[in-house]
Amino acid sequence: MYRILEHTMINLVLFGPPGSGKGTQAQKIIEKYGLVHISTGDLFRYEMSHDTPLGQQAKAYIAKGELVPDSVTIGMLRNKVEAHPDAKGFIFDGFPRTIAQAEALDALLLEKGTAVMALIALQVHDQEIVKRIKLRGATSGRTDDSDEEIIRNRISVYKNETSPVFDYYASKGKSHSVNGIGSIDEIFGRLVDVIDQTAVAARA
Ligand code: UDP
Ligand code: MG
């Protein structure tokens, strides 16, 4: 039995609407599997807090709940991936958010001799999402978490531009969904089941 090179890395796309728990679960997944966490939203917030040129570019889009242009986001993502040449795998959180970003990610990983192993979507309904984001906004200091109109816009951007990414990886047999309602540990257990199953299948 031989192993294809791409299968030696565990590269996961953690998917789902804003406020679905991606950041929280990504933290637990990297601890268990020793992966590198890349959250493009966190990277943008870091750049904005240091008022870098990249942060200045992203700011206006984020304030409105719109997407930062693909070229900007993809370039930032590439830098981050290349900063970790020895990673056992990556967990992509909040990226890719468009089909063009998914195609760019696939091309980048192919260039590195690897691929996305699985996309896992956290399923949470709109009403719960709005509730969670507002709760987070009360303490996060994120202005895009405090205004209901911006939150609604983020949800509609997700539905229109981001949700097709699920179908894109589904057509490659890589998309999975888990129920994103429950305790943090319950949801983590569901994610671990999917990760372990797909990792075993990839090594068969
Ligand atoms: N954003 C973006 N591209 C990305 C990541 C983030 O345009 O790849 C912007 C977008 O405006 C989004 C905001 O940053 O609404 C916050 O993203 P984040 O992923 O942190 O929010 P979450 O979806 O986790 O609530
Ligand atoms: Mg997040």
Its domain, for residue 121, covers 2-35+87-203
113 alpha-carbon distance from chain centroid = 21
Span from the CA of 41 to the centroid of ligand 1 (angstroms): 4
Atom of ligand 1 nearest to the CA of 67: 7
Is residue 109 one of the residues assigned to a domain? yes
pLDDT tens-place string over residues 93-122: 999 999 999 999 999 999 999 999 999 999
Say yes or no to pLDDT of 2 above 70.
no
Helix (H) or strand (E) holding 179: strand 175-179
pLDDT score for 203: 76
Nearest CA among 36, 153, 136 for reference residue 93? 36
Find where tokens 């539905």 sit. Answer: 159
As for ligand 1, residues whose beta carbon falls within 6 Å of it are 18-19, 22-23, 40-41, 44, 61-62, 65-68, 73, 94-95, 97, 144, 154
Residue 39 Cα: closest atom of ligand 1? 19
- CATH number for the domain spanning 127: value is 3.40.50.300
Question: Cβ(108)–Cβ(80) under 8 Å?
Answer: no
In the chain, how many domains are there?
A: 1
Is there a domain that residue 187 lies in? yes
Its pTM stands at 0.94
- The Cα 21–Cα 181 span in angstroms is 9
> Is residue 57 one of the residues assigned to a domain?
no
**pLDDT tens-digit series, residues 45-89:** 999 999 999 999 999 999 999 999 999 999 999 999 999 999 999
Dihedrals phi, psi of 23, to nearest 5 degrees:
-60, -45
